[in-house]
């Protein structure tokens, strides 16, 4: 996956998000972006470091945004004006009122990151089944369960019919 998304806000410049298989890079080229966000340069965040993604859709009257929550950063929550300086927030609002594409792109990015992290943190079911079988074997060796009980439970854990 190597996709590039451009998000713009009239009067505030633009942000370019490059979504790779395991990272996202935020850059803010242009004079307006430098004036509103400062000269922060390019920032790459590993997707596995992102603990959550906040997403607000853009509407006719409001800007939308994507905020990437990463441990060790302080989100500017107290006043909306402070959020402008949070380097982990990307705002978007189409000046012509057509915000469907940007909303879809932002939602795609959010879902991709959440799915990526869900796969990374998926419990190792096979490993836990092997541990369970090991415990059952210990019970069998102690004569706490019968051989039939052990075999039945082992087949169940290994999905053998």
Domain chopping of the chain, boundaries: 3-120, 125-157
Rounded Cα distance between 105 and 121, Å, is 24
- pLDDT recorded at residue 79: 46
**Are 100 and 111 in contact, with CB atoms under 8 Å apart?**
no
Contacts 24+ apart (CB under 8 A), 125-132: 129/157, 129/158, 132/157
- pLDDT recorded at residue 114: 94
Task: Please report the DSSP string for 33-88 in residue order.
Answer: HHHHH-S---EEEEGGG--EEEEE---SSS-EEEEEE-TT-----S-HHHHTT-TT
- Residue among 5, 98, 88 nearest 58 (CA): 98
Task: Answer yes or no: pTM beyond 0.75.
Answer: no
Q: Looking at the domain 3-120, which fold is it?
A: PH-domain like (2.30.29)
- Residue among 43, 145, 25, 97 nearest 17 (CA): 25
- pLDDT recorded at residue 131: 85
**Are 38 and 85 in contact, with CB atoms under 8 Å apart?**
yes
Q: What is the mean pLDDT of each run of 10 residues along the chain (161 residues)?
A: 87 87 91 65 90 92 91 60 69 78 94 92 66 90 91 85 60
- pLDDT recorded at residue 78: 45
């Amino acid at each position: 996956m190597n996709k590039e998304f451009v998000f713009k806000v009239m009067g505030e410049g633009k942000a370019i998000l490059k979504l790779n298989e395991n990272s996202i890079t935020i850059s803010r080229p242009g004079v307006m972006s430098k004036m509103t966000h400062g000269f922060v340069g390019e920032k790459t965040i590993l997707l596995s470091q992102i603990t959550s993604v906040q997403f607000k859709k853009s509407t006719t009257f409001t800007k939308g945004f994507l905020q990437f929550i990463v441990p060790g950063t302080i989100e500017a929550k107290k006043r909306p004006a402070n959020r402008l300086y949070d380097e982990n927030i990307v705002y978007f609002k189409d000046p012509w009122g057509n915000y469907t594409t940007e909303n879809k792109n932002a939602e795609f990015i959010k879902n991709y990151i959440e799915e990526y992290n869900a796969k990374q943190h998926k419990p190792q079911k096979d490993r836990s089944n092997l541990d369970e079988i090991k415990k059952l074997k210990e019970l069998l060796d102690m004569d706490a369960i019968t051989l039939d009980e052990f075999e039945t439970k082992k087949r169940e854990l290994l999905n053998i019919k």
